[in-house]
Amino acid sequence: MVFGSFTPEAFAFGFFTILTLGGAYGVAMNTNLVRGAVWLIVSLFGVAGFLALLSAGFLAAVQVLVYIGAIGILFTFAVMLTRSMTNVNQRFNQQWWISLLVSALLFILLIVGVIIPVWGNQSPADMSPTIANTTDLGVALVTGGGFVLPFEVASLLLTAAIIGAILIAREDEE
Partner 1 sequence: MESRSTPNQFLRLGITLVILAVIGGGLIALLNGITGQACLNNLSSCLTNNGWNPGIAGFVPILLGVLGVATFPLLVTILLIWVERKFAARIQDRIGPNRVGPFGLIQPLADVLKLLTKEDITPTGADKPIYNLAPPFMVASVLLIWAVVPFTPYHYGVDLEIGAIYFVAVASIATLAVIMGGWASNNKYALLGAFRTVALLVSYEIPLAMALLVPVLLAGSMSMVGIVEAQGAMWFMFMAPIATLLFFISSQAEVGRAPFDLIEAESELIAGFNIEYSGMKFAMFFAGEFMHVFTNGVLMAILFTGGWWGPFAYEAPLLGFFYLMIKSSFWYFISLWVRNSLPRFRVDQVMNLNWKILVPISILNLIMMALMLRIALGFEQSAGIVVTDFFSALPRTGFLLIGNVVVLVVVWLWLGRQGRQQRQLEEMNRFSVTATGD
Give the footprint of partner 1 on this chain (CB under 8 A). 32, 34-35, 38, 41, 57-58, 61-62, 64-65, 68-70, 72-73, 76-77, 80, 133-134
Output 55 or 103, the one with its CB closest to partner 1: 55
Distance between CA 148 and CA 50 in Å, rounded? 26
Minimum Å gap between C-beta 88 and partner 1 is 15
Output 20 or 41, the one with its CB closest to partner 1: 41
Helix intervals (H) in 30-115: 33-53, 57-62, 73-80, 96-110
Minimum Å gap between C-beta 44 and partner 1 is 11
In 3-state terms, what secondary structure has residue 86? coil
Distance between CA 50 and CA 44 in Å, rounded? 10
Minimum Å gap between C-beta 97 and partner 1 is 32
Output 103 or 155, the one with its CB closest to partner 1: 155
Distance between CA 151 and CA 138 in Å, rounded? 11
In angstroms, how far apart are the furthest CA atoms of the chain?
A: 71
Distance between CA 74 and CA 111 in Å, rounded? 32
Output 13 or 58, the one with its CB closest to partner 1: 58
Minimum Å gap between C-beta 153 and partner 1 is 21
Minimum Å gap between C-beta 85 and partner 1 is 13
Helix (H) or strand (E) holding 163: helix 148-169
Output 123 or 135, the one with its CB closest to partner 1: 135
Distance between CA 23 and CA 116 in Å, rounded? 25
Residue 33 CB: number of other CB atoms within 10 A?
Answer: 20
